[in-house]
Amino acid sequence: MINVEKINDVLVVSIANENKLNAAISQNFKIEVAKLFDQPSMKMVIDLGGIEYIDSSGFGSLLSVLRSSKGSNAQLKLCNIAPEVMALVHLLQLQTVFDIRTNMDECLNSFK
Protein backbone atom coordinates (compact mmCIF):
# COMPACT_ATOMS: atom_id res chain seq x y z
CA MET A 1 0.00 0.00 0.00
CA ILE A 2 2.83 2.41 0.70
CA ASN A 3 6.11 2.74 -1.14
CA VAL A 4 9.15 3.74 0.84
CA GLU A 5 12.45 4.84 -0.64
CA LYS A 6 15.46 6.53 0.85
CA ILE A 7 16.95 9.60 -0.83
CA ASN A 8 20.14 10.57 0.97
CA ASP A 9 19.06 10.53 4.63
CA VAL A 10 15.36 11.19 3.95
CA LEU A 11 12.63 8.54 3.88
CA VAL A 12 10.16 9.24 1.08
CA VAL A 13 6.72 7.66 1.53
CA SER A 14 4.11 7.53 -1.20
CA ILE A 15 0.78 5.77 -1.55
CA ALA A 16 0.77 3.06 -4.20
CA ASN A 17 -2.12 2.25 -6.52
CA GLU A 18 -4.56 4.67 -4.88
CA ASN A 19 -5.86 8.11 -5.79
CA LYS A 20 -7.68 8.67 -2.49
CA LEU A 21 -6.63 8.73 1.13
CA ASN A 22 -9.96 7.85 2.69
CA ALA A 23 -11.59 5.65 5.31
CA ALA A 24 -10.86 2.54 3.25
CA ILE A 25 -7.08 2.89 3.57
CA SER A 26 -6.36 5.57 6.17
CA GLN A 27 -6.04 3.21 9.16
CA ASN A 28 -3.50 0.96 7.41
CA PHE A 29 -1.66 4.01 6.08
CA LYS A 30 -1.38 5.48 9.57
CA ILE A 31 -0.10 2.22 11.07
CA GLU A 32 2.41 1.51 8.29
CA VAL A 33 3.86 5.02 8.30
CA ALA A 34 4.00 5.29 12.11
CA LYS A 35 6.11 2.09 12.16
CA LEU A 36 8.75 3.90 10.10
CA PHE A 37 9.56 6.27 12.96
CA ASP A 38 11.98 3.79 14.47
CA GLN A 39 14.83 6.22 14.97
CA PRO A 40 14.88 9.59 16.67
CA SER A 41 15.45 12.71 14.58
CA MET A 42 14.70 11.04 11.26
CA LYS A 43 13.55 12.95 8.19
CA MET A 44 10.45 11.95 6.24
CA VAL A 45 8.55 13.23 3.22
CA ILE A 46 5.05 12.07 2.41
CA ASP A 47 4.62 12.46 -1.33
CA LEU A 48 0.92 12.92 -2.05
CA GLY A 49 1.39 12.97 -5.82
CA GLY A 50 -1.50 11.15 -7.48
CA ILE A 51 -3.83 11.61 -4.50
CA GLU A 52 -6.89 13.46 -5.76
CA TYR A 53 -9.05 13.28 -2.63
CA ILE A 54 -8.53 13.09 1.12
CA ASP A 55 -11.49 12.68 3.47
CA SER A 56 -11.68 13.38 7.20
CA SER A 57 -10.23 9.99 8.15
CA GLY A 58 -7.37 10.58 5.70
CA PHE A 59 -6.58 13.94 7.27
CA GLY A 60 -6.88 12.27 10.67
CA SER A 61 -4.27 9.68 9.66
CA LEU A 62 -1.91 12.43 8.46
CA LEU A 63 -2.34 14.25 11.77
CA SER A 64 -1.67 11.01 13.63
CA VAL A 65 1.52 10.49 11.63
CA LEU A 66 2.52 14.07 12.45
CA ARG A 67 2.02 13.33 16.17
CA SER A 68 4.16 10.20 15.82
CA SER A 69 6.89 12.23 14.12
CA LYS A 70 6.89 14.83 16.89
CA GLY A 71 7.05 12.05 19.49
CA SER A 72 10.18 10.74 17.75
CA ASN A 73 11.64 14.22 17.31
CA ALA A 74 11.46 13.59 13.56
CA GLN A 75 10.91 16.07 10.74
CA LEU A 76 7.89 15.48 8.50
CA LYS A 77 7.06 17.32 5.29
CA LEU A 78 4.31 16.89 2.69
CA CYS A 79 4.65 17.57 -1.03
CA ASN A 80 2.97 17.25 -4.41
CA ILE A 81 -0.49 18.05 -3.10
CA ALA A 82 -3.14 18.30 -5.83
CA PRO A 83 -4.94 21.68 -6.10
CA GLU A 84 -8.31 20.19 -5.07
CA VAL A 85 -6.71 18.58 -1.99
CA MET A 86 -4.84 21.80 -1.18
CA ALA A 87 -8.18 23.63 -1.21
CA LEU A 88 -9.34 21.29 1.57
CA VAL A 89 -6.05 21.78 3.44
CA HIS A 90 -6.67 25.54 3.41
CA LEU A 91 -10.32 25.11 4.36
CA LEU A 92 -9.24 23.08 7.41
CA GLN A 93 -6.33 25.50 8.02
CA LEU A 94 -3.88 22.61 8.07
CA GLN A 95 -1.30 24.57 6.09
CA THR A 96 -0.29 26.04 9.46
CA VAL A 97 0.08 22.57 11.00
CA PHE A 98 2.04 20.72 8.31
CA ASP A 99 5.26 21.71 6.57
CA ILE A 100 4.01 21.64 2.98
CA ARG A 101 6.28 22.03 -0.02
CA THR A 102 5.38 22.26 -3.69
CA ASN A 103 7.51 19.40 -5.01
CA MET A 104 10.01 16.73 -3.99
CA ASP A 105 13.12 18.78 -4.77
CA GLU A 106 11.89 21.64 -2.62
CA CYS A 107 11.13 19.18 0.19
CA LEU A 108 14.52 17.48 0.05
CA ASN A 109 16.39 20.80 -0.13
CA SER A 110 14.46 22.17 2.85
CA PHE A 111 16.10 19.59 5.14
CA LYS A 112 19.58 20.99 4.55
Report the DSSP beta bridge partners of residue 2.
15
Q: Is the pLDDT of residue 4 over 90?
A: yes
Predicted local distance difference test score (pLDDT) of residue 80: 97
pLDDT band at 38; cut points 50, 70, 90: confident
Class of domain 2-110: alpha beta
CB 3 within 8 Å of CB 104: no
What would the pLDDT profile of 44-77 be if each residue is shown by its tens digit?
999 999 999 999 999 999 999 999 999 889 999 9
Domain extents for the chain?
Answer: 2-110
Task: State the Cα–Cα distance between residues 56 and 54, nearest whole angstrom.
Answer: 7
Q: 101 pLDDT band (50/70/90 cuts)?
A: very high
Q: What confidence score (pLDDT) does residue 37 get?
A: 87
Across residues 10-37, what is the average pLDDT?
Answer: 94
